[in-house]
Amino acid sequence: MFDKTIQPYTQPFLKIVAKIFVKFMTPNQVSFIGFFIGLLMCIFILFEFYIYAFLALIMNRFLDGLDGTMARLTVPSRFGGYIDIVFDFIIYAAFVLSFGLKDSSNLLMSCLLLFFYIGTSTTFLAYAAILKNYKPLLEDDKEEVINKSIYYASGLIEGFETIIFMFLCLFIPQYYNFLAILFSILCAITIIGRVIVSYKKFK
Protein backbone atom coordinates (compact mmCIF):
# COMPACT_ATOMS: atom_id res chain seq x y z
CA MET A 1 0.00 0.00 0.00
CA PHE A 2 2.86 2.39 0.80
CA ASP A 3 5.50 1.10 -1.65
CA LYS A 4 5.00 3.85 -4.22
CA THR A 5 4.73 6.50 -1.49
CA ILE A 6 8.14 5.77 0.03
CA GLN A 7 10.02 5.21 -3.24
CA PRO A 8 10.77 8.92 -3.82
CA TYR A 9 12.39 9.07 -0.37
CA THR A 10 14.50 5.90 -0.64
CA GLN A 11 15.72 6.29 -4.21
CA PRO A 12 18.10 9.28 -3.70
CA PHE A 13 20.11 7.43 -1.02
CA LEU A 14 20.07 4.16 -2.98
CA LYS A 15 21.35 5.97 -6.08
CA ILE A 16 24.32 7.35 -4.12
CA VAL A 17 25.26 3.90 -2.85
CA ALA A 18 24.52 2.26 -6.20
CA LYS A 19 26.97 4.54 -8.01
CA ILE A 20 29.70 3.20 -5.71
CA PHE A 21 28.75 -0.47 -5.86
CA VAL A 22 28.27 -0.52 -9.62
CA LYS A 23 31.99 0.11 -10.05
CA PHE A 24 32.98 -3.31 -8.72
CA MET A 25 29.81 -5.46 -8.60
CA THR A 26 26.96 -6.36 -10.91
CA PRO A 27 23.30 -5.97 -9.89
CA ASN A 28 22.83 -9.75 -10.12
CA GLN A 29 25.73 -10.36 -7.74
CA VAL A 30 24.10 -8.02 -5.23
CA SER A 31 20.82 -9.91 -5.68
CA PHE A 32 22.44 -13.25 -4.88
CA ILE A 33 24.29 -11.86 -1.86
CA GLY A 34 21.06 -10.39 -0.53
CA PHE A 35 19.29 -13.70 -1.11
CA PHE A 36 21.83 -15.71 0.86
CA ILE A 37 21.72 -13.16 3.68
CA GLY A 38 17.94 -13.64 3.70
CA LEU A 39 18.39 -17.40 4.04
CA LEU A 40 20.87 -16.79 6.85
CA MET A 41 18.19 -14.71 8.58
CA CYS A 42 15.87 -17.72 8.53
CA ILE A 43 18.56 -19.89 10.09
CA PHE A 44 18.99 -17.31 12.85
CA ILE A 45 15.24 -17.50 13.50
CA LEU A 46 15.40 -21.28 13.89
CA PHE A 47 17.97 -20.82 16.65
CA GLU A 48 16.08 -17.82 18.10
CA PHE A 49 18.93 -15.41 17.41
CA TYR A 50 16.45 -12.62 16.75
CA ILE A 51 18.91 -9.72 16.92
CA TYR A 52 21.08 -11.30 14.23
CA ALA A 53 17.96 -12.14 12.21
CA PHE A 54 16.85 -8.50 12.47
CA LEU A 55 20.20 -7.26 11.19
CA ALA A 56 20.15 -9.81 8.38
CA LEU A 57 16.65 -8.67 7.41
CA ILE A 58 17.78 -5.04 7.22
CA MET A 59 20.73 -6.01 5.01
CA ASN A 60 18.56 -8.25 2.83
CA ARG A 61 16.00 -5.51 2.23
CA PHE A 62 18.69 -2.90 1.61
CA LEU A 63 20.38 -5.05 -1.01
CA ASP A 64 16.99 -5.84 -2.54
CA GLY A 65 16.49 -2.15 -3.19
CA LEU A 66 20.09 -1.58 -4.20
CA ASP A 67 20.25 -4.17 -6.97
CA GLY A 68 17.37 -2.63 -8.88
CA THR A 69 18.83 0.87 -8.54
CA MET A 70 22.17 -0.41 -9.81
CA ALA A 71 20.44 -2.05 -12.76
CA ARG A 72 18.75 1.20 -13.73
CA LEU A 73 22.12 2.95 -13.69
CA THR A 74 23.51 0.41 -16.15
CA VAL A 75 21.58 -1.93 -18.45
CA PRO A 76 18.71 -3.78 -16.71
CA SER A 77 18.55 -7.47 -17.58
CA ARG A 78 15.45 -9.62 -17.76
CA PHE A 79 17.15 -12.29 -15.65
CA GLY A 80 17.95 -9.67 -13.03
CA GLY A 81 14.31 -8.63 -12.86
CA TYR A 82 13.32 -12.29 -12.69
CA ILE A 83 15.53 -13.26 -9.75
CA ASP A 84 14.65 -10.04 -7.94
CA ILE A 85 10.99 -11.00 -7.60
CA VAL A 86 11.66 -14.75 -7.21
CA PHE A 87 14.13 -14.18 -4.37
CA ASP A 88 11.66 -11.87 -2.63
CA PHE A 89 8.90 -14.46 -2.57
CA ILE A 90 11.25 -17.24 -1.48
CA ILE A 91 12.53 -15.17 1.46
CA TYR A 92 9.01 -14.12 2.47
CA ALA A 93 7.89 -17.76 2.51
CA ALA A 94 11.06 -19.01 4.21
CA PHE A 95 10.58 -16.43 6.97
CA VAL A 96 7.10 -17.77 7.79
CA LEU A 97 8.30 -21.36 7.46
CA SER A 98 11.13 -20.67 9.92
CA PHE A 99 8.70 -19.58 12.62
CA GLY A 100 6.56 -22.65 11.96
CA LEU A 101 9.52 -25.01 12.23
CA LYS A 102 10.97 -23.25 15.26
CA ASP A 103 7.90 -23.82 17.41
CA SER A 104 5.17 -26.37 16.72
CA SER A 105 2.59 -24.00 18.24
CA ASN A 106 3.29 -21.65 15.30
CA LEU A 107 2.85 -24.33 12.65
CA LEU A 108 -0.89 -23.95 12.02
CA MET A 109 -0.75 -20.18 11.57
CA SER A 110 2.37 -20.48 9.43
CA CYS A 111 0.53 -22.87 7.10
CA LEU A 112 -2.46 -20.52 6.95
CA LEU A 113 -0.26 -17.53 6.21
CA LEU A 114 1.64 -19.42 3.50
CA PHE A 115 -1.75 -20.18 1.92
CA PHE A 116 -2.57 -16.48 1.77
CA TYR A 117 0.95 -15.69 0.56
CA ILE A 118 0.26 -17.89 -2.45
CA GLY A 119 -2.93 -15.92 -3.02
CA THR A 120 -1.24 -12.51 -2.84
CA SER A 121 1.70 -13.61 -4.99
CA THR A 122 -0.43 -15.20 -7.72
CA THR A 123 -2.83 -12.25 -7.93
CA PHE A 124 0.20 -9.97 -8.08
CA LEU A 125 2.07 -11.93 -10.78
CA ALA A 126 -0.95 -12.77 -12.92
CA TYR A 127 -2.03 -9.12 -13.00
CA ALA A 128 1.48 -7.97 -13.86
CA ALA A 129 1.94 -10.58 -16.59
CA ILE A 130 -1.33 -9.75 -18.36
CA LEU A 131 -0.92 -5.99 -18.04
CA LYS A 132 2.67 -6.03 -19.34
CA ASN A 133 1.51 -7.85 -22.47
CA TYR A 134 -1.43 -5.60 -23.22
CA LYS A 135 -0.09 -2.16 -24.11
CA PRO A 136 -3.39 -0.22 -24.21
CA LEU A 137 -4.03 -1.05 -20.55
CA LEU A 138 -0.43 -0.41 -19.57
CA GLU A 139 -0.39 3.01 -21.25
CA ASP A 140 -3.53 4.01 -19.36
CA ASP A 141 -1.97 3.11 -16.01
CA LYS A 142 0.34 5.79 -14.55
CA GLU A 143 0.91 4.30 -11.10
CA GLU A 144 4.56 3.25 -11.35
CA VAL A 145 7.00 5.72 -9.82
CA ILE A 146 10.23 4.10 -11.04
CA ASN A 147 10.82 1.86 -14.01
CA LYS A 148 10.95 -1.82 -13.09
CA SER A 149 11.15 -5.04 -15.07
CA ILE A 150 7.74 -6.14 -13.80
CA TYR A 151 4.59 -4.12 -13.22
CA TYR A 152 3.89 -3.83 -9.49
CA ALA A 153 0.18 -4.21 -8.84
CA SER A 154 -1.04 -2.16 -5.90
CA GLY A 155 -2.79 -3.67 -2.91
CA LEU A 156 -3.36 -3.34 0.81
CA ILE A 157 -0.37 -5.62 1.43
CA GLU A 158 2.76 -4.98 -0.59
CA GLY A 159 6.48 -5.17 0.09
CA PHE A 160 6.64 -2.43 2.73
CA GLU A 161 3.81 -3.91 4.80
CA THR A 162 5.37 -7.36 4.57
CA ILE A 163 8.66 -6.00 5.89
CA ILE A 164 6.87 -4.31 8.80
CA PHE A 165 5.22 -7.64 9.61
CA MET A 166 8.62 -9.36 9.57
CA PHE A 167 10.14 -6.72 11.84
CA LEU A 168 7.30 -7.10 14.34
CA CYS A 169 7.69 -10.88 14.38
CA LEU A 170 11.37 -10.50 15.21
CA PHE A 171 10.76 -7.85 17.88
CA ILE A 172 7.89 -9.68 19.60
CA PRO A 173 8.17 -13.35 18.51
CA GLN A 174 5.94 -14.43 21.41
CA TYR A 175 3.04 -12.78 19.56
CA TYR A 176 3.77 -14.44 16.24
CA ASN A 177 0.43 -16.25 16.03
CA PHE A 178 -1.54 -13.07 16.64
CA LEU A 179 0.53 -11.19 14.05
CA ALA A 180 0.11 -14.05 11.57
CA ILE A 181 -3.68 -14.02 12.01
CA LEU A 182 -3.83 -10.26 11.50
CA PHE A 183 -1.55 -10.38 8.49
CA SER A 184 -3.51 -13.27 6.97
CA ILE A 185 -6.70 -11.19 7.17
CA LEU A 186 -4.96 -8.27 5.46
CA CYS A 187 -3.62 -10.61 2.77
CA ALA A 188 -7.15 -11.96 2.20
CA ILE A 189 -8.43 -8.40 1.75
CA THR A 190 -5.59 -7.75 -0.70
CA ILE A 191 -6.46 -10.84 -2.74
CA ILE A 192 -10.13 -9.86 -2.97
CA GLY A 193 -9.24 -6.29 -3.87
CA ARG A 194 -6.87 -7.34 -6.67
CA VAL A 195 -9.44 -9.73 -8.12
CA ILE A 196 -12.02 -6.92 -8.19
CA VAL A 197 -9.55 -4.50 -9.80
CA SER A 198 -8.54 -7.14 -12.36
CA TYR A 199 -12.17 -7.84 -13.22
CA LYS A 200 -12.87 -4.16 -13.84
CA LYS A 201 -9.73 -3.71 -15.96
CA PHE A 202 -9.74 -6.95 -17.95
CA LYS A 203 -13.44 -7.70 -18.44
pLDDT bin (cut points 50, 70, 90) of residue 146 is: very low
pLDDT in tens, 157-202: 787 899 999 999 999 999 999 999 999 999 999 999 989 888 887 7
pLDDT in tens, 104-136: 999 999 999 999 999 999 998 888 878 766 655
Print the domain residue range for 120.
3-202
Is the sign of the CA dihedral 154, 156, 158, 164 positive or negative? positive
At residue 145, the pLDDT reads: 44
How is residue 134 annotated by DSSP?
Answer: -
Nearest CA among 146, 117, 189, 155 for reference residue 6: 146
Counting the structural domains of the chain, the total is 1
Cβ atoms of residues 129 and 196 within 8 Å = no
Cβ atoms of residues 59 and 7 within 8 Å = no
CATH of the domain at 53: 1.20.120.1760
Q: What is the pTM of this model?
A: 0.86
Q: What's the rounded Cα separation, in Å, for the pair 189 and 187?
A: 5
